[in-house]
Amino acid sequence: MSNTQRRPCFPALMAGALIMATGTAARAEDDPLGVFKLGDGTLKVGGALRVRLDATLDSPKPTSGISWDVAWLSARYDSPTFFGAFQYRFYGGTNAIGYSDTTNLGQENYLTFAYLGYNLTSEQKLTLGMHQIPFGILPWVSSSFYQTMANVIGLEDVHNAGIKYNYSNSALTLDAAYYLRDGGSYFGPTRDANRYSIGFVRHDSYVEGGTNSRERHQFIGRAAYKFAHGLESSSEVGASGLYSRIQNLDTRESGGRLATALHLVGNYGRVRTLIEAGLQRIDPRNPDQDNSLITMGGFGGSFKVATKGKFLSLDLSYNVPGSWAYISGVRPYLNYSVFTKDEAAFKTSHRLFAGTSFSLYDRWWIAAEFRFGRNDPYTGSYVNGLGVGGDDRWHRAYYMNVGYYYP
């Protein structure tokens, strides 16, 4: 397999532009390590290191293992005028990426995001660079670590390269964005899927009948409104729309991608509900192939996805009050998501999580969850689960992630 290398200097260019725009950094004696005064703002430099435990619970051959998960470097700047952020991740380990052949931490690495922004007013701002697209519930559709079906079809936690306008007050949020391209592929074992954000890619050799595509010229609009219910409860309702061009790299012809979603975020005391429902329509213009499938990928692997379908995510969690010794922020959760395909012969993809997350000694964060998947690329049917489907039976796994975050 080849290592794709794209724009390795982009993070340095963004960091350099940030320093040039704001002045010289200096750390005050009373500031924590990694926190600097920069112009009229604050620059925080840090990172994280995580390990993981994976266990497949299916008979007849259950397996388990502990490995490195990821290390990353990050920086974030905030001031009354400018803001920016940067993160670069290093993945790898024996079990860290269960569907790739990386064996060492850092063997697979890529940029997560890198952007600069300008506060137009106290309620309006512009963001330029590689940043999260404003689609659906932000920043994540669920409380779970492995995220939802919206993520694996490229509509959750996606960071692309472009410009975004945001208006936000105490009740109303409006976003309008244009992205010239996706976030790109970096270093790792695959042709084009060495990336954090799930996107349209060149298929790998193990994806039989896969496609070679890329996304360009993405337009997104999002509106959300929050209703208050007393002092401790609120409901946010919102709608999102996305349109982009999908170019087939074999035919050089371009089709379109259309996605829409409605969402509800309910905070009712210590109970939180997250609901998102939507649809996706893709016209891939495949060469002498069925246009009902397209190849997508990320995190060092590629897989098939049905081009037309609907998705739904239902999430319920509870913020447990108080703390015990050094444990705080305990949040048990339950999430179910589903991707139904328009093709009658394609099997529906299901994902169910039951887990909890909590903080330890403030800087440690731990998540543990049971995963149940049916035609799910991450639990049972990697290459074909989101396409025609896999063996159409439930698979089970257990996962724990332990991470140290600074600052």
The DSSP result for 361-378, as a single string, is TTTEEEEEEEEEEESBTT
Residue 44 contacts residue 34 (beta carbons within 8 Å): yes
Q: Which residue has the tokens 């589903």?
A: 338
pLDDT of residue 113: 98
pLDDT of residue 388: 98
pLDDT of residue 407: 87
Tell me whether residue 113 is in a domain. Answer: no
Alpha-carbon distance 134 to 113, whole Å? 14
Tell me whether residue 41 is in a domain. Answer: no
Tell me whether residue 37 is in a domain. Answer: no
- CA distances for 32 relative to 27, 44, 46, 49, 74, angstroms: 8, 9, 11, 19, 16
Q: How many domains does the chain have?
A: 1
The DSSP result for 125-139, as a single string, is EEEEEEEE---SSSS
Tell me whether residue 219 is in a domain. Answer: yes
Tell me whether residue 20 is in a domain. Answer: no
User: For the CA atoms of 310, 339, 280, 216, what is the dihedral angle to 10 degrees?
Assistant: 170
The H-or-E segment that residue 329 falls in is strand 327-341
Tell me whether residue 47 is in a domain. Answer: no
DSSP-based three-state secondary structure for 280: strand
CATH of the domain at 199: 2.40.160.10
Tell me whether residue 251 is in a domain. Answer: yes
User: Smallest Cα–Cα separation from 384: which of 352, 353, 354, 345?
Assistant: 345
Tell me whether residue 129 is in a domain. Answer: yes
284 prior amide bond cis, ω within 30: no
Q: Within the chain, which residues score under 70 in pLDDT?
A: 1-31, 59, 93-103
pLDDT of residue 33: 79
Biggest CA–CA distance in the chain, Å, is 66
The H-or-E segment that residue 14 falls in is helix 10-22
Task: Give the domain range for residue 303.
Answer: 123-406
